A and B are shown apart, each in its own frame.
Chain A
């Protein structure tokens, strides 16, 4: 049994719940932002948040203390997102409530225009792992080594892939600019 699991077994249920609630309060928004950036429908993001925290509850003993918790949750949310399309959808209470809140509280986001649309399109051309690395560093504001922990790769590999991702993105954008200029 992993040390984290042993610790979890020993942890009182209430203590676990206190810790879990704190985790949600501190990281809920970060996970929602992460999810919103990676799905088209905000309601999907609501499900990702709910499912991510259910996983966190089941594996609370493995959740690192401190800032590592956010990285751990990003890693879970990433897998939850990957499963979103193929998994049988189940709507939890939090998922329902959050989806409803997002529907009522968030005004419809206008479709990205101009340069933003170009950047998003160029990002979409990157490989999955390179893209994720770039987004974690840019939108989630992680350091390359933190992003490496989320993806489960070495910091060295992360730096080199990040460099490659940026180069490819720049090329894609510059090509687009050139095409635009020629038109």
Chain B
């Protein structure tokens, strides 16, 4: 028996007929495997990522939170003392700083350009923008093409500009787990094929999608968009960055640093409205706006979150507009023409509300509000030749969220939930 004959005889003796196994659905058995793993989880629980708090321990921070209010009072009475001002933020500020992951990008010359947060059913989500060099405005992108042939994007800033910006986003894990986010990323396609790597970030490992773009003309040598995903303290974190290469992404991830709330608040730019200034900011934004009798500054939602002027402005202008629209709706239902006319007149001035003019540079909320105001005299919203109920359309301003629902169905829902009705 020569070597070849023996190899053939051995192969023929293989007790496993591979085609017999072809019908087995291994994926269908994954749930059972994961259930087995779950049973083991207690013993397998990985250590939570250790956080590096700069300058003080968590315990000291906890005590600090309790005593900052007192500190602020002392600070005000003493006029701040002499020399370097004592850094003390009020308890509200510390609380909302701590509603973020307390991360900073500590790269040389990098700073925070903007921070926004919002509250969803599952928790707080937000994003921070870090830049170096001159401020970078948002790009106005135009997308052409179709999904089958690949979409093209126009209007991107040059790579040199985009590589000066890093975006950090966080969402509660309760909304979508890291595993689900990663599974979704794997579903995407890319003209050059998907490519994933792992890179260290903070005290954990990030899953990095090196080709997260959906547009066919993105990236190339020296210009790559990348997305890092990891989870920490109940958040799924995403870092988006345009980088020259993978090393650039690794460097930016390395710059991310966990800090304490004081350090984090120190890094906030002036344009980020701080909770302590909320009342003053609202008062300033109300200038030049005719107010209905039912308005009170306390009606403007103070979400206690780090929000920029755009978001506070939307809350201020939106609250006023919703109150006028409620008056208009009630007047329409009861036939009170004087009250209806008053509301129409007030809303007709919206084009000149200073806060809306300021906001119109950054987004479309003012435009939507102006279109609604313009439709009030005719009493309906014209949509592709159809007459749409104006109040239903105006709910898009966020009126129900402000506790000021416009349509009777939402008002009924509010009553049923036991929410006290607004003072009409």
Q: Which residues of A contact B (CB under 8 A)?
A: 7-18, 20-21, 24-25, 28-29, 32-33, 36-37, 50, 53-54, 57-58, 92-94, 96-98, 101-102, 105-107, 109, 112, 115-116, 119-120, 123, 134, 138-139, 166, 169-170, 173-174, 177
Tell me the smallest distance from the CB of B389 to a CB of chain A, in Å: 44
Q: Are A16 and B46 in contact (CB under 8 A)?
A: yes
Provide the residues of chain B in CB contact with A58, threshold 8 Å. 40, 43-44
**A139 touching B230, Cβ below 8 Å:** no
How far apart sit A145 and B35, CA to CA, in the bound complex (Å)? 36
Tell me the minimal C-beta distance from B392 to chain A in angstroms. Answer: 41
Chain A residues with CB under 8 Å of B43's CB are: 58
Residues from chain A with a CB closer than 8 A to the CB of B6 are 166, 169-170, 173
Question: 13 new A-B pairs (CB below 8 Å) besides A33-B16, A54-B40, A173-B1?
Answer: A10-B200, A12-B205, A17-B34, A18-B182, A33-B21, A36-B16, A92-B39, A98-B29, A109-B15, A112-B13, A116-B9, A120-B13, A169-B6
B13 touches A116 (CB 8 A): yes
Write the chain A residue with the least CB distance to B178: A14
Identify the 9 closest CB pairs spanning chains A and B, nearest first: A119-B13, A14-B178, A14-B179, A93-B32, A116-B13, A94-B32, A92-B36, A94-B33, A28-B26
Q: Please give, as numbers and ranges, the residues of chain B lying within 8 Å of A107 by CB-CB distance.
A: 20
**Is the beta-carbon distance between A7 and B205 smaller than 8 angstroms?**
yes
Question: By the criterion CB–CB under 8 Å, are B30 and A25 in contact?
Answer: yes
Contacts of A177 in B (CB 8 A): 1
Q: How far is the CA of A161 from the CA of B163 in the complex (A)?
A: 57
Q: Among A15, A29, A92, A98, which residue has its beta carbon within 8 angstroms of that of B182?
A: A15
Summarize A's interface: helix, strand, loop or mixed: helix
Distance between A147 CB and nearest chain B CB, rounded to angstroms:
14
Contacts of A96 in B (CB 8 A): 32
Q: Is the interface of B mostly helix, strand, loop or mixed?
A: helix
Offer 22 A-B interface pairs, CB within 8 angstroms, sorted by A: A10-B49, A11-B46, A12-B49, A14-B231, A16-B46, A18-B179, A24-B30, A25-B27, A33-B21, A37-B14, A53-B36, A54-B40, A57-B40, A58-B44, A92-B32, A97-B32, A106-B20, A109-B17, A119-B10, A120-B13, A138-B11, A138-B14
**CA–CA, A23 and B21, complex, Å:** 18
Residues of chain B within 8 A (CB-CB) of A115 are 9, 12-13
Is there contact, CB below 8 Å, between A54 and B203?
no
A104 to chain B, nearest CB (A): 10
